[in-house]
Amino acid sequence: MAIGLPSLNGLRAFEAAARHLSFTRAAAELNVTQTAISHQIRRLETQLGLRLFHRRNRALALTPEAQAYLPAVRAAFEDLREATERLRRRERQSVLTVSTMASLAAKWLLPRVAGFQDANPGIEVRLTASTHLVDFRREEIDMAIRYGHGSWPGVRADWLMSEDIFPVCSPALLQGERALKRPEDLAQHTLIHNTGLREDWQLWLTAAGLPAAFAQKRGLVFSESFMALQAAIDGLGVALARTPFVEADLREGRLIAPFDLVLPDKAGFYVVAPEETADTPKIKLFRDWLVASVVKERGARA
């Protein structure tokens, strides 16, 4: 007949209290109250039928039975920790967590990920959207696609693609009495803004020889680029687009670029990962696939 094992919580309380020789410090480590530790120890002693601690003038001492029991309990918890870490390590090896901006994920990355998954069924890609500079270790992110100049400390940054800036709108805005034919006609239309890129309209208008004040008139403002682009698709106004976000919409005719003037952006998109993990197989595989797919698409358009 198998002998029942004592309470796991009681064993954890015993191991921590024996290590610290203090119920107070054990309670702090396990994030419970000192009273809870006392109850768990008392219940464990009842289950075992013996005393584990001598309580003397606010000090704890292990009984001989506890001294003999402790190494096996400690070894059992260490085995559990190692087994759990091995399990998590195997799970992490098959899951790739990628962080990027919501708009880039929605308008550019998502349509492409299925191709990678088909070619690499052993890796599960998980996308997470973020507007801040992720902390790879704290947030358990494997890699990211970042926008900037490629100079971030502690990470390897591989060039992915650049982007041009230009107005886009629904084909419907080219018709009717207020048809959009010249940049000057923007004065008759609603400008659609992205809150983080308000200066882009001013730059483009200045390059077009128009007053930057055009950008100050009342318009529609969205927090994400994909929302601004959807408003343009719906004919609500003219949005300022960046190349990766609108390639599919331009190709399929949902949006058009009414003017020839394009501003090349000095920054671009980079694939980044911590320097110490940048060449792990799953990260390298996805990075190489991303870069190769951009090169292939660029060659197809040439």
DSSP readout, 150-183? Answer: S--TTEEEEEEEEEEEEEEB-GGGGSSTT---SG
Query: Above 60 in pLDDT, residue 32?
Result: yes
This prediction has a pTM of 0.62
Q: Enter the tokens of residue 21.
A: 């020789």
* Architecture per CATH, 8-92: Orthogonal Bundle (1.10)
Q: What class has domain 163-266?
A: alpha beta
Q: What are phi and psi of 19, to 5 degrees?
A: -70, -40
At 249 the pLDDT is: 94
Q: Enter the tokens of residue 109.
A: 């990355």
- According to CATH, the topology of domain 93-158+276-301 is D-Maltodextrin-Binding Protein; domain 2 (3.40.190)
- Contact indicator for 239, 185 with CB cutoff of 8 Å: no
- 99-138 pLDDT, tens digit each: 998 888 888 898 888 889 888 888 889 998 887 777 887 8
Nearest to 246 by CA among 149, 133, 111: 111
Nearest to 290 by CA among 150, 133, 92, 146: 146
H/E/C letters for each residue in 95-158? EEEEEECHHHHHHHHHHHHHHHHHHCCCCEEEEEECCCCCCHHHHCCCEEEEEECCCCCCEEEE
Nearest to 237 by CA among 198, 203, 201, 186: 186
Handedness of CA 291, 295, 301, 302 (dihedral sign): positive
DSSP-derived secondary structure letter, 256:
B
Which residues neighbour 110 within 8 Å (Cβ) at sequence distance 6 or greater?
127
Q: Do domains 8-92 and 93-158+276-301 have the same CATH topology?
A: no
Ranges of each domain in the chain = 8-92, 93-158+276-301, 163-266
- Contact indicator for 202, 229 with CB cutoff of 8 Å: no
Radius of gyration of the chain (CA): 30
The residue written with tokens 């290590």 in the block is: 19
- 185-240 pLDDT, tens digit each: 998 899 999 887 768 888 899 999 988 788 777 789 998 889 999 999 999 999 99
